[in-house]
Amino acid sequence: MAAKLGEGGMGKVFLASSPSRRLVAVKVIRSELVGDPHWRERFRREVASAQSVSGFYTAPVVDADPDAANPWLATQYINGVSLSAAVAERGPLPEQAACRLGAGLAEALIAIHRAGIVHRDLKPSNVLLAADGPRVIDFGIARPLDAVPLSRSQILGTPAYMSPEQALGEGITPQSDVFSLGATLVYAAVGAAPFGADRKVRGRIVYGEPDLSGLPAPMRGLVTRCLSKEAVDRPSPDQVLTALSTLLDAHYGEEWLPTDVASLIGENQETVTQVTAVLPSP
């Protein structure tokens, strides 16, 4: 292991190198959870979900061992910064970058849903911005499409970005991820979640209206539909992709991120280069 990349409720993620010197991101369960069968089973589901998804806008699984004494999951290392960090440090993305982001996330959801999975935790901190496009990461609470609905006491996810049906503990479909996509796009373009982020956010998601006042006008109609209370009224990821594609300028091959955000990725690469220069041989 070279350096810690991040951590969450289930585990920590480290930068590491494979025997061929390929950079990988390794997630390991927290030591205090290793002996708990519930957490082990949850990690097995995460590994299975991540392994079943393919597509340009996710991080491919390199290897995993959910049954090891210290369970772990290794994915391809993506040189990027989280959407949450980018917006916190550099402010909201300009309209074109936000549209490119949304199109990339829609393509990721198409791949995820094609694998028979609902991500259930699409949010700014689970989106990496890389030079060649966004990536959706962390399948820690993803579930199969045919999974039994969870009770209210079992609700998992980040309240500010979950759909009304998820907040109520009702059945979740791929359209729940579309709601989260809409909320994530608002954060990207405005700098704040559409329903706020305080303790009363679930109530506003279920019964209130989103604040889209700072959203660029061309995106507003689509995002409004993504945030519909009823899942059947939301567009599919394919429809989101089509709608956003019509808003994009045809400048292929150009950097999609503004210079100040791209500089964060460059700074991150410099740090990685320094760390990996002293990595021991595998």
Name the catalytic one among 121, 132, 198, 238. Answer: 121
**Of residues 146, 148, 181, the one with CA closest to residue 57:** 181
Q: Is 148 exposed, middle or buried (0-12, 13-18, 19+ CB in 10 A)?
A: exposed
Q: Name the strand (E) or helix (H) holding 237.
A: helix 237-245
- The residue type found at 25 is A
The C-alpha atoms of residue 26 and residue 72 are separated, in whole angstroms, by: 7
Which stretches of 53-173 are DSSP H helices? 83-90, 95-114, 164-167
Pair 122, 71: CB distance under 8 Å: no
Task: Give Cβ neighbours of residue 63 (< 8 Å, ≥ 6 apart).
Answer: 74
Q: Does 121 participate in catalysis according to the annotation? A: yes
Two tokens at 263?
Answer: 């500089």
Show which residues are catalytic: 121
